[in-house]
Amino acid sequence: MPSEDRIQQHRRYLMCRPDHFTVSYEINPWMDRARPPDTAKALRQWQVLHDTYVRLGHRVDLIDPIPGLDDMVYTANSGLVIDGVALGARFSVSERRGEERPFRQWFAAHGYGVVEPVAMQEGEGDLMLAGQIILAGYGFRTQLDSHAEVARVFGREVVSLRLVNPFYYHLDTALCVLDPVEGPGGVERANIAYLPSAFDERAQSELLERFPDAIRLPPSVPESLGLNAVSDGRNVVMSPAATHFADQLRERGYHTVPVDLSELHLGGGGIKCCTLELRGGRS
Ligand code: ARG
């Protein structure tokens, strides 16, 4: 399909400047206190990502960074926002619990209906809207029993997928939603890309059955955090290191937009982790 046929959707994102980004604890295998990031460089790279979204015509909202919350830049983990309803996150790692309240306050102050979660889940890091359904990771951070709560809150089918590789500890490190697919009855499903080896066998069969046309990346080219990309249906903002994934995307008519967040990778997050999608709500 030529790129002219891929349709860009206007998106609204929530981001947080990495003013206080550092690695003072280790909660995933990418983090190493002995190799702290260069905060000024992280800020410059983050600014390019921010400006890229704006240039593509998207709206970007900002939440103020708070000293001592090293990981606040990874806004995707703060909740899941659909149709003006924000289900806040409940972090499984104590190091990030301090982020819960400021994000909930931001959502409420900006007109979102905030739902306090009961079970542990780490927002859009593990809960991804794919067409009408929600794909939900578990195994490292998000607990399986949160999936029923997510289904109830949003009134949508939730498909549970177990993650098995500690380097791909959040669903958004192993799977990317590219665009919704319209059918005769409106949005019916989604195009996705993923790394099958990051999932258990059951999840692999589930994904294969539901998404027969997906881009599947071979285990030999995991292209660290390459799948942690953001698509608006046409433009895929992604790591320049993920060359195999980029080729696959271009073959299918997407326009790839490289943005290097190498410094943020030291905290175990990339482009998608720094981007929370805000769906619905007042503008
Ligand atoms: N250091 C952060 C953590 O371990 C990175 C979060 C990455 N975010 C994401 N959406 N995958 O929680």
DSSP calls for 119-181: S-B-GGGTEEEETTEEEEEESSSS-TTHHHHHHHHHTS-EEEEEB--GGG-SGGGTEEEEEEE
Q: CB atoms < 10 A from the CB of 4, how many?
A: 8
What's the confidence (pLDDT) of residue 245? Answer: 96
- By three-state DSSP, how is residue 52 classified? helix
Ligand 1 mean position, distance from CA 72 (Å) = 9
Annotated catalytic, 170? Answer: yes
CB contact set of 7 (below 8 Å; sequence gap of 6+) = 179, 233, 234
Task: Give the whole-angstrom CA distance, residue 144 versus residue 126.
Answer: 11
Cα maximum dimension of the chain: 54
What's the confidence (pLDDT) of residue 81? Answer: 97
Report the nearest atom of ligand 1 relative to the CA of 70: 1
Ligand 1 mean position, distance from CA 268 (Å) = 6
Single-letter code of the amino acid located at 119: A
Distances 128 to 72, 109, 134, 259 between C-alpha atoms, Å: 19, 24, 5, 22
Mutate to test the pocket of ligand 1, among 16, 20, 22, 28 (most ligand atoms within 8 A of CB): 28
Ligand 1 mean position, distance from CA 263 (Å) = 13
Given 50, 58, 147, 170, the catalytic residue: 170
CATH no. of 7-277: 3.75.10.10
Given 50, 147, 265, 273, the catalytic residue: 273
Q: Is any atom of ligand 1 closer than 6 Å to the C-beta of 141?
A: no
Annotated catalytic, 50? Answer: no
Q: Is any atom of ligand 1 closer than 6 Å to the C-beta of 75?
A: no
Distances 274 to 55, 159, 166 between C-alpha atoms, Å: 17, 24, 20
pLDDT 10s digits, 229-265: 999 999 999 999 999 999 999 999 999 999 999 999 9
The fraction of the chain above a pLDDT of 90, given in percent, is 91
Instruction: Show the low-confidence residues of the chain (pLDDT under 70).
Output: 1-4, 220-223, 283
Task: Give the whole-angstrom CA distance, residue 238 versus residue 271.
Answer: 7
What's the confidence (pLDDT) of residue 187? Answer: 74
Task: Give the whole-angstrom CA distance, residue 91 versus residue 100.
Answer: 8
Q: CB atoms < 10 A from the CB of 94, how many?
A: 9
Q: Which residues pair with 86 in a beta bridge?
A: 81, 114
Ligand 1 mean position, distance from CA 126 (Å) = 10
ipTM topping 0.95: yes
Domain ranges for the chain, please list them.
7-277
